[in-house]
Chain A
Amino acid sequence: GAGVSQTPSNKVTEKGKYVELRCDPISGHTALYWYRQSLGQGPEFLIYFQGTGAADDSGLPNDRFFAVRPEGSVSTLKIQRTERGDSAVYLCASSLSTSGGRRTQYFGPGTRLLVL
């Protein structure tokens, strides 16, 4: 079956611009997660949705970052006034639920963001 998909796969933008990154989770998965992976590092948590609501946004680095999941499926990560330090691979993951064995997170291929 289809896995987690993310678009675009690559995004190049200029400092100060606004970008949107999209994530399509596995069908039927209620939980959705965003992570950021800098070069040579492990992924770092940004935000987690259970259904339509953000259950934990403690990893968002500042108020330039925002994410939505209006219908409980597709999610968009929005970055305002991009900075060069925002350059990274942005990973999305989904899980069937948040209990027991259904907590396993399945990752998309990521969006590589480069801010010039």
Chain B
Amino acid sequence: GDSVTQMEGPVTLSEEAFLTINCTYTATGYPSLFWYVQYPGEGLQLLLKATKADDKGSNKGFEATYRKETTSFHLEKGSVQVSDSAVYFCALSDPQGAQKLVFGQGTRLTINP
């Protein structure tokens, strides 16, 4: 079945550092890809998404590009802030089939001032 694998955390960076969180997927079709973020004490929020190959999703300075050839959707940010500290989840859904989201295990990110 479909699956998502994220780089293991936790990840700790200093403010203004460059961030990459790796995400790869396995799917039989052409899934839509998502990054969700869970801030401390809050619910899951959609951060960005991409629905077809070579699409780039972006929001709040974060970017991720849908790479079909490497089945990847890595999350990047050029300069992180303390407020970016959260748990990040990569996810996919099959637009032609089941409506469910399939999530990775999450990556906890801590940014130190």
Within 8 A of B (CB), among A1-46: 3-4, 31, 33, 35, 40-45
The residue in chain B whose Cβ has the minimal distance to the Cβ of A3 is: B43
Task: Give the secondary structure class of B's interface.
Answer: strand
Within 8 A of A (CB), among B75-113: 89, 91, 93, 95, 98-106
The residue in chain A whose Cβ has the minimal distance to the Cβ of B108 is: A40
Q: Is the CB of A45 within 8 A of B102?
A: yes
The residue in chain A whose Cβ has the minimal distance to the Cβ of B101 is: A105
Within 8 A of A (CB), among B44-64: 44-46, 49
Q: Is the CB of B105 within 8 A of A103?
A: no
Residues of A within 8 A of B (CB): 3-4, 31, 33, 35, 40-45, 48, 50, 55-56, 58-59, 91, 93, 95, 98, 103-110
